[in-house]
Amino acid sequence: MITFAGCYTALVTPFSNDGTSVDLLRLAEGVVVQAQGGARGIVPCGTTGEAPTLEEPEHIAVIECAVATGRPLGLQIIAGAGSNSTAHAIHLHRLAASLGAHASLQVTPYYNKPSQEGIYRHFMAIAESADLPIMLYNIPGRAAVAIAPETVERLARHPNIVAIKEATGSMDSASEIRRRCSIAILSGDDSLTASFAAIGAVGVVSVLSNIVPDRVAQLCRDIASGDLHAVRRSHDALFALARGLLSLDVNPVPLKCAMELLGRDSGAVRLPLVGASDAVRTAIHSLLTAANVYETARPHESLRGISQPAGR
């Protein structure tokens, strides 16, 4: 069984400049950057990866690329495979297993607004469908419903349900989950990584680490070391940028803008999302400058031999 700890990057999906196709070469480059930066794993086809806009062949191609590039580099691959349809989530979960992912990320059913019993049965059906570990994804801000701590406790009794990405923003929720069971908790918000660690979280599924994996990984190492002063330094250095990437516009709009500014263009966002406004772009530039990200954004040696796509 997989053991979770540290920095897991909610991987951006690079598209062409018109958004019509997935740029798999850029995706592979991004996976290499994560390995070099010290990330423990990557999470393709999640919210940051614009999974709702991926056609199934694209979904397969993204996971295949993440597995083929990331596994040899020692990265854990947690494939986004959730849906508000239980049958579809089972299909994607089995697909993730067949493609070689280490685990799947299963989001709370969105839009349907199921009861806690419905949520429980949904995740249990997925867990029974394939022998693949599951990381629950608790994000009521997008799904309109949360997984209650008592439901997490029930689900954690299944041997395949081993972790939860807690994106509620609630210390009370995370604390109650920890009080009730031993499931691995990972922060779903970069700005709360240090706070969640105080109640026993073991890491973060990070948006910020798309651009600074080394710094997010260092924060996780500081937490693991128990050095509170080091944790505060790492947290303070990242806090404003982390908040900005998730508050200036909807994720991953600010992130893709930041990557472009740093010379790591990941293409367009797909409709119904639209690119960052001039005001957001200016704010992100200021945040990157204040955090000294431009100063440390250097080409990675292992990327220099990878040819660039035509027209980029």
The catalytic site residues sit at 137, 165
Q: DSSP labels for 257-303? A: HHHHHTT----PPPTTS-PPPHHHHHHHHHHHHHTTHHHH----GGG
Retrieve residue 30's tokens. Answer: 């991004």
User: Which backbone phi and psi does 104 adopt, to 5 degrees?
Assistant: -120, 150
Residues 6+ apart with CB under 8 A from 247: none
Cα 290 → chain centroid: 24
Residue 282 to residue 263: CA distance in whole angstroms: 16
Contacts of 202 (CB under 8 A, 6+ apart): 4, 5, 6, 184, 185, 186
> Could you tell me which residues are beta bridge partners of residue 165?
137, 186
Contact 78, 63 (CB under 8 A): no
Residue 5 tokens read as 């700890």
From the CB of residue 300, how many other CB atoms can be counted at a distance below 10 Å? 13
Taken in order 207, 201, 223, 80, is the CA torsion positive or negative?
negative
